[in-house]
Amino acid sequence: MSADRPHVGVLALQGDVREHARLLGDLGAEVSLIRRPVELAAVDGLVIPGGESSVIDKLARAFGMHEPIRDAIASGMPVYGTCAGMILLADRIVDGIEGQQTFGGIDVTVRRNAFGSQVDSFETDLDVPDLGAPPVHAVFIRAPVVEEAGESVEPLARLDDGRAVAVRQGSLMATAFHPEVTGEHRFHAAFLDMVRAA
């Protein structure tokens, strides 16, 4: 990895993979689509996209990716998850389907589909002090929400009711919404800074 051009992967099993890859590329990263352990081993950071968390979980196990991703997280690889990616980075999930597993790493309890079905999708502006002005225009599509967070978890953004929808813990970051859909690049830029720092 060159300091100015970090090599990052997007987990490409299911979900909005292309949107993340395009945004990261626009920010100057070298981007690989990751489906196999050998591909994961070649990158310095990983994005877990939005999609269907239970499907990504099943495919990760089928492709032999579950343990390698857990190991990469444990060894300090920077990882950023959006929507389903937030669920997969959570240590605990509420309302998961039977047998659903996560990669874990962030000491949070996350509720799947916290706001209802696709028809209950909504948009709102969020203050994210770490990213400065203007507010982040966030799109929530069958989104999760953080129900509980450990002391080592830093909330980056909250809804008006106080529930966290963006968090960071060490080299891991997650958002309940989809910055890649609205063209909001600051979370991905912050993630690339984390990769460079690691």
Among residues 19, 20, 66, 178, which one is catalytic? Answer: 178
What's the CATH code, domain 7-197? 3.40.50.880
Q: What are phi and psi of 173, to 5 degrees?
A: -140, 145
* pLDDT for residue 141: 84
Among residues 20, 66, 180, 188, which one is catalytic? Answer: 180
Among residues 19, 20, 83, 184, which one is catalytic? Answer: 83
Which three-class secondary structure state does DSSP give residue 157?
strand
Q: Is 67 a catalytic residue?
A: no
| Residue entry with tokens 């909330």 | 155
pLDDT tens by residue, the chain, 198 residues: 566 799 999 999 999 999 999 999 999 999 999 999 999 999 999 999 999 999 999 999 999 999 999 999 999 999 999 999 999 999 999 988 889 999 999 999 999 888 776 666 789 999 999 999 999 999 898 899 999 999 999 999 999 999 999 999 999 999 999 999 888 999 999 999 999 999
Q: Is 83 a catalytic residue?
A: yes
Rounded distance, CA 98 to CA 50, Å? 20
Which three-class secondary structure state does DSSP give residue 102?
coil
Q: Is 30 a catalytic residue?
A: no
Cα–Cα–Cα angle for 194, 54, 115, rounded to 5 degrees: 80
- Is residue 13 classed exposed, middle or buried when 0-12, 13-18 and 19+ CB atoms within 10 A define those classes? buried
Name the residue ranges covered by the structural domains of the chain: 7-197
Identify the DSSP state of 2. B
The tokens for 95 are: 């309302």
| Contacts with 133 (C-beta within 8 Å, 6 or more apart), sequence order | none
